[in-house]
C-alpha cells in the first residue's frame, strides 16, 4: 500500500527517542495523534518500545502502534528514512515530549 | 460469541420479525429504563447477507475500496453528530479505516483471488483475535472496535446499509450482541427498547443506553426464535430484566397500565422537581446534582437543581490520562449546561474501590487505607497539573466562580499542597497569556479526622462525602454483606461528624454540602436537616424524591 512499512535496508535511518509520560502508555487517542502526525511526512517513519528485541513498526499505522503496547515512563524510539526524515523525527519526538499535547 | 467473524456478522445481520414464535418470558440483567411495548424484531447472527463475488480481483479490490470509503464517510458523519463519549469510540475507528497496514492484507488476499467480503472479514478477524488474545481489558475493548469496524465495512460491501434499516420506530430489538455503532443506529431509528443475550451492564452500549434513555436488558438467557410473519408485540420490562414475547391480552393490558403509570409518575415528579425545596417550617434547602457521566447532560434539565455539587472526573481517565483539551472541552460543556448555576468539579478520585489501570497503585494490602484520592494526586503531580490547568482554563468561561474540590483529604497540608499546584498552574497560564480564572478550592470531608478538625482547613467550602465517611466511621464496608448492616449512615456517630462539619462551615462562613448517597436517600433527609445541613447534592434520578422528602420535613431550630 501507499506507506511503506519498512524502507530498503540500505537507507540511512535518523533516530530519536522520547519518554512517554502518559501513565497508561500509548493508548487510542495518543496513538491516533502520533500516526496522523507521522502521515504528514513523506519519509518512512517507524517506532518501537524501549526493548531492543521488539520489532520496529510503521508509525503511520494506528493499528500497529496500538498493538505495540509501549509502556509509560520508558522511551519510545523513533526512526525515519527519506527526504524529510530529520523533520519527522524532530516532530514526533516533540509530540511525545509534549505528552501528546495533554 | 467467541468467533470474531461471527460477532461481526451479528451486527450486520439481516432482521426478521417474530410473530408466531409463541409466548415466552426471557430473563436477563436490567440495565436502565422501565416498561416498553412494541413489535419484536430479532436481529439474528445467521442471516448475514450473501454477496455475489465478481471473480475479478480488480473489481473486488474496487468494491472493498468503495465500501471502506463509504464506511469512513458514514463514520465521519456520525462523528459530527455524536457527543464526546460516542465520538471518542468512533474517532479511533475512523483512524483505523485509513490504516493501510490494517487493510493491506485484505487487498493482498483479493489479488490472490479471494472475494472482497471474505478477504476483509478474514483479515480483520486475525487482528481482532490478536487484540483479544492476551486478556488485557483495554486491548480487548479495542478488539470490539475492530469487530464493529469489520461489520461496518461488510455492511457497505453487501449492501445491507445499516442494522437499523429494517427496524420500525417503536420496536423492541432482541440481538445476540450489540456493537456501539449498531446501538447508535437503533437509537437514532427510535427503537422502544433493546435486549441482548451478550453484553454487560458496564459496556459501552450500556453507558450509551443510560445516557439516551433507551430501555436495555443484557445477558438474556436465550434469544427469542425469529419467525416470518407479522411482528407480534413484546413487552420489555427493563426494570425487572425480562422480555415477554407474544404476551396475551391480559399481560399486555397490565404492561400498558404500568407503562402509563410510570410515565405519569415521572411527569408529576419532574414537574415538582423544578420547584424549590422548602421545608414545612420554611427553611430553604439547596438541592444540587451529582454528575458522573457527560452523556447525562444531553437529557438532564438544569432547572431541576441549584447547581452541580459533585462532578466525578474518573470517567475521563478510563482510557488513560486525558489530554488538557479533552478535559477542557468537558468542563466548559458542563459549565455551559449549568447556565449560571454554581458548578463543583472534583479532582481525580482514583484508588480504593476505583482502580484505574496504569494510574493507581497496584497490590496495596488495603487500598481503602492506601494511596487514593488526594494522596494519589500528590503522588502523580504530572496528572494533577494537567487537570488543574484544564480547570483553571474552564473557569474563565464560568459566570460564577468554578468550585474545585479535593477528595480524601486528611490533614490541612494536603489541601495546601493542592493549592500550591493550582497556583503554579494559574501563574503559568497568566505568563503564557492563556485565558483562565482561579477556581475556588474546597475540601471534601470523608475522613473522620477531617470532619473533627474541619475548622482548621482553609477551605472555601466543604463537601461531605458520606459514603467514605460512613465506612471509615463504622469500619465496615458497604459491599461486604457480612458487615453491611454496621455501615449504617444513620449511626449517631456519622450524624455527629456531619453536624460538626456543618458547625465548622457556619463558624467560618462557608458553605457545607453533602454529596454522598445519603443526600440521594429520601428517608435520610429529615436526619440530615437536623444536623443543620442545608445543601444536598443528589443523583439526578433522585432529585425529585429528595425534594419531596425535604418539603415534608421540618428543619427545626438548627437553621
User: In sequence order, what are the beta bridge partners of B438?
Assistant: none
Pick the residue from chain B with its C-alpha nearest to A27. Answer: B320
Asked if A1's CB is within 8 angstroms of B103's CB, the reply is yes
Same domain? B426 vs B524: yes
Domain boundaries, chain A: 14-97
Is residue B540 in a domain? yes
pLDDT digits (tens, 9 = 90+) for B402-420: 999 999 999 999 999 999 9
- Clarify whether residues B366 and B467 are in a common domain: yes
- Span of B31-35, B47-51, B229-233, B306-310 with lowest mean pLDDT: B47-51
C-alpha cell at B177: 450482541
Find the range with the poorest average confidence among A50-64, A69-83, B364-378, B496-510.
A69-83
| B280 contacts B552 by C-beta, under 8 angstroms | yes
Query: Is the CB of residue B420 less than 8 Å from the CB of residue B373?
Result: no
Looking at the fold, whether B341 and B239 belong to one and the same domain comes out as: no
Catalytic (active site) residue B515:
yes
Q: For residues B146 and B200, which has the higher predicted lDDT (pLDDT)?
A: B146
Residues B318 and B207 reside in one and the same domain = no
- Claim to verify: residue B361 and residue B384 sit in the same structural domain: yes
Q: What number of other Cβ atoms are within 10 A of residue B509's Cβ? A: 6
The size of the A-B interface in CB pairs under 8 A is 92
Nearest CA in chain A to B328: A102
Cβ contact A29–B88 (<8 Å)? yes
Same domain, B97 and B194: no
More confident residue, B211 or B64: B64
Looking at the structure of chain B, the number of domains it has is 3
Length of chain B (residues): 559
Beta carbons of B436 and B392 less than 8 angstroms apart: yes
Domain containing residue B117: 57-158
CATH number, residue B114: 1.10.274.10
Contact criterion met (CB below 8 Å) for B406 and B347: yes
Copy the grid coordinates of residue B324.
488538557
Residues sharing a CB contact under 8 Å with residue B327, sequence separation 6 or more, in sequence order: B313, B316, B386, B387, B390, B391, B394
Given the residues B32, B244, B305, B515, select the one marked as catalytic: B515
Identify the pLDDT of residue B81: 60
pLDDT at B187 over 90: no
Q: What kind and span of H or E run contains A57?
A: strand A57-58
- Shared-domain flag, residues B466 and B319: yes
For residue B558, is it within any domain?
Answer: no
Q: Looking at the domain assignment, is residue B273 inside a domain? A: no
- Asked if residue B184 lies in contact with residue B129, where contact means CB atoms within 8 angstroms, the answer is no
* Residues of chain A found within 8 Å of residue B96, distances taken between Cβ atoms: 62-63
Q: Are strands B35-43 and B29-32 parallel, antiparallel or unpaired?
A: unpaired
In sequence order, which residues have a C-beta less than 8 Å from that of residue A7 and are 6 or more positions away?
A13, A44, A81, A82
Contact present, B177 and B8 (Cβ < 8 Å): no
Measured in angstroms, the CA of A28 and the nearest CA of chain B are apart by 6
What is the C-alpha to C-alpha distance for residues A65 and A35, in angstroms, rounded to an integer? 8
Cell of B176: 445476540
All residues at 6 or more sequence positions from B259 whose CB lies less than 8 Å from its CB, including other chains: B34, B35, B36, B37
| Residue that is written with C-alpha cell 465506612 in the block | B471
- Whether ipTM > 0.90 holds is no
Q: What is the CATH number for B173?
A: 3.50.30.10
Q: Which of B125, B158, B191 is the last residue of a domain?
A: B158
Contacts of A2 in chain B (CB under 8 A): 100
Of A5, A24, A66, the CB nearest to B142: A66
Write the residue in A21, A63, A69 that is nearest to B127 by C-beta.
Answer: A63
User: Do B372 and B516 sit in the same domain of this protein?
Assistant: yes
- pTM of this prediction exceeds 0.95: no
Domain assignment of residue B420, yes or no: yes
Give percent of chain B with pLDDT exceeding 90: 46
Mean pLDDT along residues B419-445: 97
The Cα A66–Cα A57 span in angstroms is 10
Return contacts of A51-59, CB within 8 angstroms, 24+ apart.
Answer: A56/A6, A57/A5, A58/A3, A58/A4, A58/A5, A58/A6, A58/B101, A59/A34, A59/A35, A59/A92
Catalytic residue among A4, A17, A25, A27: A27
Q: Is the residue at B515 inside a domain?
A: yes
* Residue A80: its H or E element: strand A75-81
Q: Which residues contact B209 (CB under 8 A, 6 or more apart)?
A: B31, B32, B33, B183, B187, B194, B215, B216
| pLDDT tens per residue across span A5-58 | 455 556 789 999 988 877 666 777 788 889 999 999 999 999 998 888 889 999
Task: At B90, list the grid cell.
Answer: 468512533
Q: Output the CATH code of domain A14-97.
A: 3.30.1340.10
Q: What is the pLDDT of residue B203?
A: 62
Instruction: Verify whether residue B156 is a known catalytic residue.
Output: no
List strand residue ranges (DSSP E) for B10-143, in order.
Answer: 15-17, 24-27, 29-32, 35-43
Q: Which of B209, B234, B265 is the last residue of a domain?
A: B265
Instruction: Confirm if B60 and B119 have CB atoms less than 8 A apart.
Output: yes
How long is chain A?
102
Count of beta carbons in the 10 Å neighbourhood of residue B482: 8
Q: Please check whether residue B382 lies inside any domain of the structure.
A: yes
Q: Which of B93, B99, B325 to mutate to test the interface with A (most CBs of A within 10 A)?
A: B99
- Please state the rounded mean pLDDT for residues B31-44: 84
Residues B208 and B332 in one domain: no
With both helix axes pointing from N to C terminus, report the angle between B84-97 and B324-338 in degrees, rounded to the nearest 10: 150
Annotated active-site residue in B32, B156, B204, B436 = B204
Amino acid at each position: 500500500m501507499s506507506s511503506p512499512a519498512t524502507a530498503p535496508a540500505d537507507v540511512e535511518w535518523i533516530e530519536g527517542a522520547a519518554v512517554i509520560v502518559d501513565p497508561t502508555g500509548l493508548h487510542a487517542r495518543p496513538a491516533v495523534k502520533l500516526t496522523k502526525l507521522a502521515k504528514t511526512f513523506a519519509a518512512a517513519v517507524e517506532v518501537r518500545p524501549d526493548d531492543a528485541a521488539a520489532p520496529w513498526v510503521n508509525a503511520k499505522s494506528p493499528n500497529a502502534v496500538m498493538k505495540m503496547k509501549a509502556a509509560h515512563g520508558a522511551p519510545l524510539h523513533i526512526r525515519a528514512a527519506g527526504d524529510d526524515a530529520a523533520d519527522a523525527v524532530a516532530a514526533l519526538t516533540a509530540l511525545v515530549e509534549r505528552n501528546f499535547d495533554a | 460469541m467467541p468467533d470474531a467473524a461471527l460477532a461481526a456478522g451479528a451486527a450486520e445481520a439481516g432482521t426478521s420479525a417474530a410473530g408466531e414464535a409463541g409466548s415466552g418470558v426471557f430473563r436477563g440483567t436490567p440495565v436502565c429504563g422501565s416498561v416498553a411495548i412494541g413489535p419484536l424484531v430479532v436481529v439474528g447472527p445467521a442471516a448475514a447477507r450473501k454477496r455475489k463475488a465478481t471473480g475479478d480481483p480488480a473489481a473486488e479490490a474496487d468494491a472493498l475500496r468503495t465500501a471502506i470509503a463509504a464506511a469512513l464517510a458514514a463514520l465521519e458523519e456520525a462523528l459530527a453528530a455524536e457527543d464526546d463519549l460516542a465520538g471518542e469510540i468512533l474517532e479511533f475507528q475512523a483512524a483505523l479505516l485509513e490504516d493501510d497496514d490494517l487493510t493491506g492484507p485484505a487487498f493482498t488476499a483479493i489479488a490472490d483471488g479471494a472475494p472482497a467480503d471474505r478477504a476483509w472479514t478474514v483479515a480483520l478477524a486475525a487482528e481482532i483475535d490478536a487484540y483479544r488474545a492476551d486478556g488485557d481489558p483495554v486491548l480487548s475493548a479495542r478488539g470490539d472496535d475492530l469487530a464493529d469496524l469489520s461489520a461496518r465495512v461488510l455492511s457497505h460491501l453487501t449492501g445491507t446499509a445499516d442494522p437499523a434499516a429494517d427496524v420500525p420506530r417503536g420496536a423492541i430489538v432482541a440481538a445476540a450482541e450489540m456493537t456501539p455503532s449498531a446501538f447508535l443506529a437503533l437509537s437514532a431509528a427510535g427503537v422502544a427498547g433493546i435486549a441482548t443475550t451478550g453484553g454487560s451492564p458496564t459496556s459501552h452500549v450500556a453507558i450509551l443506553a443510560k445516557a439516551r434513555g433507551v430501555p436495555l436488558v443484557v445477558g438474556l438467557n436465550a434469544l427469542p426464535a425469529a419467525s416470518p410473519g407479522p411482528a407480534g408485540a413484546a413487552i420489555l420490562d427493563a426494570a425487572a430484566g425480562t422480555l415477554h414475547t407474544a404476551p396475551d391480552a391480559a399481560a399486555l393490558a397490565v404492561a400498558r397500565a404500568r407503562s402509563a403509570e410510570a410515565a405519569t409518575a415521572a411527569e408529576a415528579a419532574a414537574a415538582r422537581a423544578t420547584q424549590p425545596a422548602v421545608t414545612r417550617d420554611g427553611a430553604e434547602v439547596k438541592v444540587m446534582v451529582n454528575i458522573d457521566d457527560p452523556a447525562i447532560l444531553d437529557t438532564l434539565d438544569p432547572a431541576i437543581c441549584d447547581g452541580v455539587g459533585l462532578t466525578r472526573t474518573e470517567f475521563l481517565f478510563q482510557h488513560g490520562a486525558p489530554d488538557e483539551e479533552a478535559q477542557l472541552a468537558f468542563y466548559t460543556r458542563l459549565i455551559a449546561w449549568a447556565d449560571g448555576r454554581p458548578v463543583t468539579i472534583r479532582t481525580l478520585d482514583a484508588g480504593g474501590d476505583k482502580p484505574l489501570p496504569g494510574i493507581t497503585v497496584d497490590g496495596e494490602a488495603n487500598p481503602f487505607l492506601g494511596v487514593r484520592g488526594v494522596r494519589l494526586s500528590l503522588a502523580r503531580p504530572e496528572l494533577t497539573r494537567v487537570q488543574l490547568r484544564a480547570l483553571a482554563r474552564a473557569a474563565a468561561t464560568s459566570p460564577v466562580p468554578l468550585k474545585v474540590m479535593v477528595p480524601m483529604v486528611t490533614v490541612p497540608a494536603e489541601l495546601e499542597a493542592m493549592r500550591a499546584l493550582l497556583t503554579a498552574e494559574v501563574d503559568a497560564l497568566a505568563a503564557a497569556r492563556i485565558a483562565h480564572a482561579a477556581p475556588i478550592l474546597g475540601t471534601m470531608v470523608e475522613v473522620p479526622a477531617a470532619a473533627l478538625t474541619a475548622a482548621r482547613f482553609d477551605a472555601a467550602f466543604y463537601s461531605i462525602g458520606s459514603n467514605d465517611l460512613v465506612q471509615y466511621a463504622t469500619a465496615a464496608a458497604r459491599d461486604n454483606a457480612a458487615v453491611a448492616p454496621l455501615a449504617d449512615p444513620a449511626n449517631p456517630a456519622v450524624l455527629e461528624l456531619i453536624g460538626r462539619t456543618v458547625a465548622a462551615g457556619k463558624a467560618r462562613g462557608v458553605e457545607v454540602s453533602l454529596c454522598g448517597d445519603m443526600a440521594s436517600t429520601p428517608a435520610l433527609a429529615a436526619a440530615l436537616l437536623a444536623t443543620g445541613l442545608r445543601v444536598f447534592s443528589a443523583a439526578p434520578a433522585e432529585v425529585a424524591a429528595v425534594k419531596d422528602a425535604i418539603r415534608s420535613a421540618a428543619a427545626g431550630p438548627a437553621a
